[in-house]
């Protein structure tokens, strides 16, 4: 009888970023989560996980380069747990070009169900790998900044960052302090 192979131990690391702390999780070198502090739908840490900053250094390097403005496309092995529909939505999110936005309705068309804007929005909100899988690039049909699990201030910051707006700080700070006053009326 052959021994049963043990599953790799999940690992976790927390890094600082311009939008606050990010918690990273992975299993066997494969990224399974990028979560913002105090985000909606924050899942618990994987059972039996251990801290391993070195094991997530490849993710940290790419996120640092993204925040420095030198990386526009991530190249990381990822695994996202969800329903088939959620995974289709998340795969489609990864196809939205850096610095561009699409509407929830357009994303619904991309996943083959043009009447599923609301379901697409719910799946978008459950994206387990924020920033890398760019759910922040989805906006309302009228161009408004609608919900974001990490908070609308962070969504504004990420969109401005990708558009090359250098008026915001690149040092870690409270996300609310990074929102330009002209945009605050849209997100209140």
Q: Among all residues, which ones are annotated catalytic? A: 135
Nearest one of 182, 174, 168 to 67, comparing CA atoms: 168
Residue 118, burial from CB neighbour count under 10 angstroms (0-12, 13-18, 19+): exposed
Distance CA 164, CA 99 (A): 8
What are the respective helix, strand and coil percentages of the chain, to the nearest 5? 35, 15, 50
Answer whether 73's CB lies under 8 Å from 98's CB: yes
Q: Which residues of 31-62 are buried (b: 16+ CB within 10 A; e: fewer)?
A: bbbbbbeebeeeeeebeebeeeeebbeebbeb
Distance CA 47, CA 52 (A): 15
């Amino acid at each position: 009888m052959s021994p049963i192979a043990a599953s790799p131990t999940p690992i976790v690391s927390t890094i600082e970023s311009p939008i606050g702390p990010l918690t990273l999780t992975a299993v066997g070198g494969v990224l399974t989560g990028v979560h913002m502090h105090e985000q909606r739908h924050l899942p618990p840490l994987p059972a039996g996980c251990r801290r391993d900053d070195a094991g997530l250094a490849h993710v940290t390097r790419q996120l640092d380069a993204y925040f420095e403005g030198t990386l526009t496309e991530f190249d990381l092995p990822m695994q996202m747990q969800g329903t088939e529909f959620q995974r289709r939505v998340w795969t489609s999110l990864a196809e939205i070009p850096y610095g561009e936005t699409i509407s929830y309705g357009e994303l619904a068309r991309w996943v083959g169900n043009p009447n599923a804007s609301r379901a697409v929005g719910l799946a978008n909100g459950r994206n387990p790998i924020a920033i890398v899988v760019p759910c922040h690039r989805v906006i309302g049909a009228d161009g408004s900044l609608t919900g974001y699990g990490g908070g609308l201030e962070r969504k504004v910051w990420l969109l401005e960052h990708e558009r090359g707006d250098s008026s915001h700080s690149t040092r870690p700070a409270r996300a609310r302090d990074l929102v330009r006053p002209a945009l605050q009326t849209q997100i209140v």
